[in-house]
Amino acid sequence: MRAARGSLQVGAFRGIPIRVHFSLLLILPLLAISFGGAFRRAAEVAKVPPERLLGSPLLWGLGVAVGLFCSVLVHELAHTVYAMARGGRVRSITLMMVGGVSELSEAPPRPRDEALMALVGPLTSLFLAALFGAATWLLQDTRSFNLQFACFYLGSLNLFLGAFNLLPAFPMDGGRIVRASLTGRLGAVRATRVASLMGRGFAVLFGLYGAFVLNPFLMVIAVFIYMGAEGEARQVRMKETLTRVPVSALMTPRLAGVEASSSLWEAMWALRQARRLALPVTEGDRPVGWVWLEPVRQVPEGERAMRTTRELMRPVVVVGMDEDGWTALRRMAEEEVPHLAVVAADGALVGTLDFADVQRGLELYEARAERAGREQRGFRQERPA
């Protein structure tokens, strides 16, 4: 197991990391207490005598909470399997306090596939609900009270999980189905804008209802849906802009880095002179790594003249200057690196690119597009009838 970006990796599926977010570890005891509090009522609904069940209500509550997130994992695996079958690429699966997320580095190319990918998760949950429901019915006359109660609870949870995710509250599955169905007519940006507005509307309703019934968990879900809808809409707008902008228009030009054979003393001088925390390491004119200021600082001054930059350099990830900005941004995310070395067609270093470069370029191009849109609307208004 290993920690990554506020989460703990607990396994993998076909090379895709499965992670548990720390927020889940915080909410798990609260869910256990909540489910434990509903223990007796749930047993009555399941037609199981509570006194015949082994273990305390709190222990049952913990088991049900874990079962819920196992159901969420199966739900997310269904999304993942379908996405991969349709040409998508999945970076990771993360279980969080409000459910799960399958992080795509590349979505299936067709809107129809996106809709089906979103639908397959809730359908899997509903299938599990039917399966556990059938098992509950078959166990009614066997006096296997513990197994019957566990099947009843898991069936109920999966029924709720499937039905809740079908609500058209973007970025939940139902909202993604709405977005995909609108993309053909409106385009990706406008379809996402409509789905995002619907998602935020549902989030407000969830929040108000949660406040009315004093349900903090529902209010937390509302906040996550609202933020998720905003974030998804912003990402689609960003993608639409950056796919039209070449890396050469975003990068910071740099024709030379720190030579791999140079001493750490020379690397320190180059970093200070450039006023940068990191610089590309080159052999000839080709980037082969990065050197960072902090590791160089940690080397005693007396050793810096005797050690080479190659010893401390970190791996380099490159992007072509003719590739688009969205490809570069996605590569940074996939490789989990803060910057890229930009190379020409022959592999020579021509610049560097980090998130700040992309953000500046994005703001500039969005401002130009907005200004052009205003001018075009003004021209239309000024035209004689």
Q: Which residue has the tokens 């279980």?
A: 95
Q: Contacts by 269-272 with C-beta closer than 8 Å and gap 24+?
A: 271/296
**pLDDT tops 50 at residue 181:** yes
Residue 92: what pLDDT? 87
Residues 276-287: what's their mean pLDDT? 92
The answer regarding whether domain 247-362 maps to CATH 3.10.580.10 reads yes
Given a contact cutoff of 8 angstroms between Cβ atoms, the answer to whether 59 and 182 are in contact is no
What would the pLDDT profile of 51-105 be if each residue is shown by its tens digit? 888 888 888 888 888 888 899 999 999 999 999 888 888 888 988 876 788 887 7
| Mean pLDDT of the 331-347 span | 91
Residue 46's pLDDT is what? Answer: 81
Q: What is the pTM of this model?
A: 0.78
Find the range with the poorest average confidence among 61-75, 103-117, 158-172. Answer: 103-117
For the chain, domain boundaries: 2-242, 247-362
What Rg, from alpha-carbon coordinates, does the chain have? Answer: 27
DSSP 158-173: HHHHHHHHTSS-TTSH
Which bin fits 143, alpha (ψ -120 to 50), beta or left (φ > 0)?
left
- Out of 61-65, 126-130, 141-145, 200-204, least confident range: 141-145
pLDDT digits (tens, 9 = 90+) for 182-238: 988 898 889 999 999 999 999 999 999 999 988 888 888 899 899 989 888 888 888
